[in-house]
């Protein structure tokens, strides 16, 4: 039967330990297709999709006291302090009732990564990395049409710079641990999903052995 995030298991010494949820981090540059592919993965593999960017945008719209700070940082392409984002992620995980999560757009820098690990003690199952050229990402972002305040050429350039300087090192960190599953994300949505499916299918087959 499905277990929830806060489900507890008894250890031999009688202590109650929390069962850790399964987490897959979904990383890639702005416009690489993270959100699009997460929607597909959810339909096939029973994960709950948590987009850090979506949670931060919802926080702006909720009128929370952090809203203005978050909005200013997103407009500048900067990364919001981990404390805020991790709080939102933890809340969403608890509220979902699921124990399998795709965490999209997080961790985006070393601070995100180290703080999540220290606070949650969760180690990702693997890291899906969507590799895409800047030229293609820029084209996609300028056509996204979701009315986002950061999908303009000035902010896009800043986001690309932050991606190279702050996010790529996180991918390299996980690569050194053998956790990265890199996908050529410059292809069509269908072709990318075929590659994604192969990775998740392989994982489930391994788990069943």
Binding-site sequence positions: 31-36, 57, 78-80, 105-108, 112, 144, 148, 159, 187
- Residue 167 as a binder of ligand ADP (CB under 6 A): the answer is no
Q: Interface with ligand YYY by CB under 6 A: which range of 40-48, 100-108, 116-124, 186-194?
A: 100-108
Cβ proximity to ligand ADP, 191 vs 204, nearer residue: 191
- Considering only residues 4, 22, 35, 67, which one is a binding residue for Mg ion as defined by CB under 5 A? 35
Q: What is the 3-state secondary structure (H, E, C) of the chain?
A: CCCCCCCEEECCCCCEEECCCEEEEEEECCCCCHHHHHHHHHHHHCCEEEEHHHHHHHHHHCCCCCHHHHHHHHHCCCCCCHHHHHHHHHHHHHHHCCCEEEEECCCCCHHHHHHHHHHHCCCCCEEEEEECCHHHHHHHHHCCCCCCCCCCHHHHHHHHHHHHHHHHHHHHHHHHCCCEEEEECCCCHHHHHHHHHHHHHHHHHHHHC
- Residue 52 as a binder of ligand YYY (CB under 6 A): the answer is yes
- Residue 74 as a binder of ligand YYY (CB under 6 A): the answer is yes
Annotate each residue in 23-52 with x if it binds ligand ADP (CB under 6 A) or - if it does not, as one string: -----x-xxxxxxx----------------
Cβ proximity to Mg ion, 34 vs 159, nearer residue: 34
The terminus-to-terminus CA distance of the chain in angstroms comes to 18
Q: How far apart are CA 11 and CA 209, in angstroms?
A: 24
- Considering only residues 105, 132, 170, 171, which one is a binding residue for ligand YYY as defined by CB under 6 A? 105
Q: Interface with Mg ion by CB under 5 A: which range of 4-12, 29-37, 173-181, 197-205?
A: 29-37
Q: Which residue do the tokens 């590799």 mark?
A: 131
Q: Interface with ligand ADP by CB under 6 A: which range of 61-69, 84-92, 160-168, 187-195?
A: 187-195
Judged by the rule CB under 6 A, the positions of this chain that interact with ligand ADP are: 28, 30-36, 140, 143-144, 188-189, 192
Judged by the rule CB under 5 A, the positions of this chain that interact with Mg ion are: 34-35
């Amino acid at each position: 039967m499905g277990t929830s995030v806060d489900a507890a298991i008894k250890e031999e010494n009688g202590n109650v330990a929390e069962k850790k949820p399964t987490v897959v981090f979904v990383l890639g540059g702005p416009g690489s297709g993270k959100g699009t592919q997460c929607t597909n993965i959810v339909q096939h593999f029973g994960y709950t999709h948590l987009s850090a960017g979506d949670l931060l945008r919802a926080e702006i719209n909720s009128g929370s006291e952090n809203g203005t700070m978050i909005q200013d940082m997103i407009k500048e392409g900067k990364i919001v302090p981990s404390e805020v984002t991790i709080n939102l992620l933890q809340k969403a995980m608890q509220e979902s009732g699921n124990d399998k999560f795709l965490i999209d757009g997080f961790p985006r820098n070393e601070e995100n990564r180290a703080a999540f690990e220290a606070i949650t003690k969760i180690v990702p199952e693997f890291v899906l990395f969507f590799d895409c050229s800047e030229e293609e990402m820029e084209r996609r972002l300028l056509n996204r049409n979701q009315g986002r305040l950061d999908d303009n050429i000035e902010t896009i350039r800043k986001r690309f710079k932050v991606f190279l300087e702050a996010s790529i090192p996180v991918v390299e960190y996980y690569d050194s641990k053998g956790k990265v599953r890199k996908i050529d994300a410059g292809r069509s949505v269908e072709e990318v999903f075929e590659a994604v499916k192969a990775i998740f299918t392989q994982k489930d087959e391994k788990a069943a052995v």
